Structures are given as C-alpha cells and as structure tokens.
Amino acid sequence: MENLLRYAEKLFDEVEIAVYRSREVSANVELNEISMTGVRSGAVTVIRGIKDKRLGLAIVDSDEENRVKEAIEQAAKMARLNSPDEKWVSLPKSGKYREKPKPNYELKEASPDVLVEMLVRAIKLTREMDKHATVAGGGGEISWNESHIMNSHGIDVSQEGGLSYMLLEFVGRKGNVVTPGITEFEARKDLNLNVEEAVERGLKKVSWAYNVKSSKNEEVPLIFSPEAIAFLFYGALFPAFSGERLVKETTPLAGKVGEKIASEVITLYDDPFHELSLLHAVSDDEGVPLRRNTIIENGTFKGFVWDNYWAKVYGTESTGNGQRDLRSGSIRIGLNTVVIEKGKRSLEDMIAEIERGYLVDGVQGAHSSNPDNGNFAVTANPAFLIENGEVVGSSVFLIAGNVYELLKQASEVSREQTVMPVMYTVVSPHIKFENVKIAGK
C-alpha cells in the first residue's frame, strides 16, 4: 500500500487511500426455526484524491494492488473532469492516537455454528418458559472489521476488531390475543451474548402484553426504554449535532452553544472508548484520532461534531466524526458511540412510584421525524401501562411532539444502561419524561 500511496501522490496534490476488510457470519430465525446461515467476507478500497481543488473519488471492492492502482487512475481522470471545489482546504494531518484496544480474536474466525447454537437455545428456552410464545424472527451476526487509512500528509493507521449481536423478536398468542412483537437485543465485543437474560427480558414483556389495555388521550409520565430512545433520537435529535448542518443552517441548535436545551438530568456525549462501546477504533475514517466529545452536559448544549471537510469550511478542526459510507465512498458526519449518562436508581424503583403512566418499549415511524426542527410523530408500540407502581398490561398510542420539549420534561435516568447496535451505536439508560401528551389509538 505504501507504493500505491507514492504512485497516487504523483497524480494528486493530496490523496487518501482507505482499505476496509470485513468478514461476517450470520444466522436468521423465522417462526421458531433457523431459516438461514451465511458467511460473507470482502475488501473495499476507497481512493480520494484532490488536484487543484478538484475531487476524484473511486471505489473498488478489492485490496489487490493492480485493482487499487486502476481505481487511483480512475479517480485521477474524474478529478480532471470536475470543477474545483473552492471551499476545499485540505485532508487532515496526522495526530496522536490512544493505545489500541485488544480485540477478541475468537470473533475473527467464528463459525455460524456459534450463532445457530445460541438461537436454538433461545428458541428452546422460550418454548419451555412460555408455551404460548414463539421466537417469531430475529437472528445473530458476528462481524470482524479491519481498516487501514493512509494519506499523503502522514496519516497511516490500522485497526481491527469485531462484535457479536443477537436480536430476538418474541410474539405471544393466548386465546384471541396476539401480542405485538417484543424485540430484545444483545451486543458485545466477544462471543458471550447472554441468551438466557434476553429471553427472560423478552418473555416478561410478552407476559405483560397478554393483557391488552385500551389507550386514551391523556397527559402522563412516560419511561422510554433504551431502544425507544435510540430510534427516536436517531431521527429527531442526533442529526442536529452535525457541524455540516450548522454551516448549512439546517439545525435548530445553531447559536445554542452554552444554552440549556434539556433538563439537568440529561448528559450526552460521543464516547468511542466507553466500556459498553462496540468499537475498537482509535481513528475515524479520515484517520483523525477518536476522542470523547461532550455534546449535552447537565442539559446544556456544549457543541457540534465535525468531519474534516466541514470543520475546515467553518474554520475549526475535526472532532473525529468523519464516517465513510462504503456505497458512495463519501465521508459524512456521524456519531461514534452516543452515550447518555446513567442515574442512581433502578428502572424498578422508577416504575414503583408511578401512579399512572407508561413504559414505552419501542417506537414506530421515527424515521419520518424532522431533524431540522425536532418534530416527531411516532406510535408507541409496545407500550406497557403502569398503574400504582406496577405494569398491568400493554397498549398502543401516538406521541406527537418536539424532541427539545421532551428533553426538558426529562426527570430521571435509570441506573442500568444498555447498548443498542442500531444504526449508530447508542448506550442509553431508561429515561422518564413528565407530563407527556399522548393520543389514544
């Protein structure tokens, strides 16, 4: 790769070569049966070169020298055809990286058998614990990723690591009642996924869901699960932290640095080194060192996250949030591991003091939220009715509102945190919001 970088340097003013290798084994479940096992592996190399401020970008699904060389030439041709991007400043320079974490090498060579064994165990346990319940869907994946980022300003960083995850969707059928799908995730940086706990958590919710309660228009406290938080914030809140949106004036957080945007209980940072993070990386996809960035501290907005391009356009530096989309090859601003700080009391204690309210375990429709202003309209499903400190049944209702108003209604976060490997990796506690208006369905 060194030789290829030297070759590319002759064709461009600045150039970056990023090589990604991955392997993933997977297994799926459908209606209590294993429906598929798979093994996939591959390499992708992305060339990004700049000549007279003109961009050339080529992707090839290989790390072989001759094919990467062809891609370099393709990128050079493309740069000649494009117009200059007058906003272009430069690729990033080398920085100091943290010590590389030691990955678990069992993940690198894992067989799908490991997943099949876990899923069969989950199905068996489910049947034993509740004869009315099935594992309706889901599956598992063990992935291993290696990357090598190099550029003509001296960046040269390699990293590797893997993760395993499992997703189980439970459905119960009792008499006329078919429960909504109850989804449980487990994700780790080793193979020790806790099948038993995931099944127990899921079946507890299924047992609640057999008791269907109608919903009505009311104003009640809601406790959002980590999953519900991850989906809702992914659509309505996280994009607003992007520096690109600050430059383009499409974030409602413009001019809000130092201002309260949430209640005191909300502290949110992007921390790839958090103990529950699923990353092994020390740099982002442009080779910029990863670091912990505080975004909301006790309710106060602390600042935006940046990739190299938009940071330089704005006159600041990348925060290590340049992420590469391997379909388009382009770098986008993304969060590495969103962490919402945990609290002191357990979810159980939080539920115990609610006279009437709901535990919102999942939200649907969050993808149509509007990050330009924070508006959202979602269906809470499954949601569990809490009466006199106890969960008494399940329900479905609508919540339409604004994520910034919701953030100000946050009154407590639970002691337990869960990592959700959904889109961004999100580490979140349960969060309680006071006086939320809901619409019965």
CA–CA separation, 61 and 75 (whole Å)? 15
Residue from 8, 16, 28, 253 that binds a second copy (CB under 8 A)? 28
Least distance CB 194 / a second copy (angstroms): 21
CA distances from 17 to 13, 158, 329 (A): 14, 12, 11
Least distance CB 130 / a second copy (angstroms): 18
CA–CA separation, 261 and 304 (whole Å)? 14
Q: Which long-range contacts (CB under 8 A, 24 or more apart) does 174-177 make?
A: 174/132, 174/210, 177/209, 177/210, 177/212
Quick one: which segment of 37-45, 192-200, 245-253, 254-262 binds a second copy (CB under 8 A)?
37-45
Least distance CB 114 / a second copy (angstroms): 12
Secondary structure percentages of the chain, helix, strand, coil, to 5: 25, 40, 35
Q: Which is nearer to a second copy, 116 or 423 (CB)?
A: 116
Closest listed residue to residue 130, CA positions, set 183, 169, 171: 171
Binding status of residue 71 toward a second copy by CB under 8 A: yes
Binding status of residue 367 toward a second copy by CB under 8 A: no
Following CA atoms 70, 75, 79, 85 in sequence, which dihedral angle do they give, to the nearest 10 degrees?
A: -170
What is the bridge-based pairing of β-strands 218-224 and 356-360? parallel
Q: Which is nearer to a second copy, 301 or 376 (CB)?
A: 376
Residue 92 DSSP symbol: P
Q: Which is nearer to a second copy, 257 or 400 (CB)?
A: 400
97, burial (CB in 10 Å: exposed 0-12, middle 13-18, buried 19+): middle
CA–CA separation, 90 and 12 (whole Å)? 12
115: number of Cβ within 10 Å: 27
Report the helix count and the strand count for the chain, using DSSP H and E.
Answer: 10, 20
Please report, as residue ranges, which positions from 40 to 69 form the binding site for a second copy (by CB under 8 A). Answer: 40-42, 55, 57-61, 67
Q: Which is nearer to a second copy, 34 or 423 (CB)?
A: 34
Q: E-assigned strands of 252-321?
A: 268-270, 293-297, 300-301
Least distance CB 266 / a second copy (angstroms): 32
Could you give the count of Cα atoms lying within 13 Å of 378 in the half-sphere of its Cβ?
30
Q: Which is nearer to a second copy, 213 or 332 (CB)?
A: 332
Element spanning 287, H or E: none
Quick one: which segment of 11-19, 39-47, 315-323, 429-437 binds a second copy (CB under 8 A)?
39-47
Binding status of residue 70 toward a second copy by CB under 8 A: yes
Binding status of residue 392 toward a second copy by CB under 8 A: no
Least distance CB 76 / a second copy (angstroms): 11
Q: Which is nearer to a second copy, 77 or 216 (CB)?
A: 77
Q: Which is nearer to a second copy, 36 or 257 (CB)?
A: 36
Q: Which is nearer to a second copy, 101 or 329 (CB)?
A: 329
Binding status of residue 211 toward a second copy by CB under 8 A: no
Query: How many residues contact a second copy, by CB under 8 A?
Result: 36
Give the residues across from 289 on adjacent strands. 283
Please report, as residue ranges, which positions from 73 to 132 form the binding site for a second copy (by CB under 8 A). Answer: 74-75, 77-78, 81-83, 85, 112-113, 116, 120
Q: Which is nearer to a second copy, 1 or 120 (CB)?
A: 120
Quick one: which segment of 12-20, 27-35, 216-224, 405-413 binds a second copy (CB under 8 A)?
27-35
CA–CA separation, 19 and 185 (whole Å)? 30
Residue from 217, 328, 346, 364 that binds a second copy (CB under 8 A)? 328
Quick one: which segment of 32-40, 198-206, 296-304, 433-441 binds a second copy (CB under 8 A)?
32-40
Q: Which is nearer to a second copy, 55 or 237 (CB)?
A: 55
CA–CA separation, 362 and 438 (whole Å)? 15
Least distance CB 25 / a second copy (angstroms): 10
Q: Which parts of this chain interact with a second copy (CB under 8 A)?
A: 28, 32-42, 55, 57-61, 67, 70-71, 74-75, 77-78, 81-83, 85, 112-113, 116, 120, 328-330
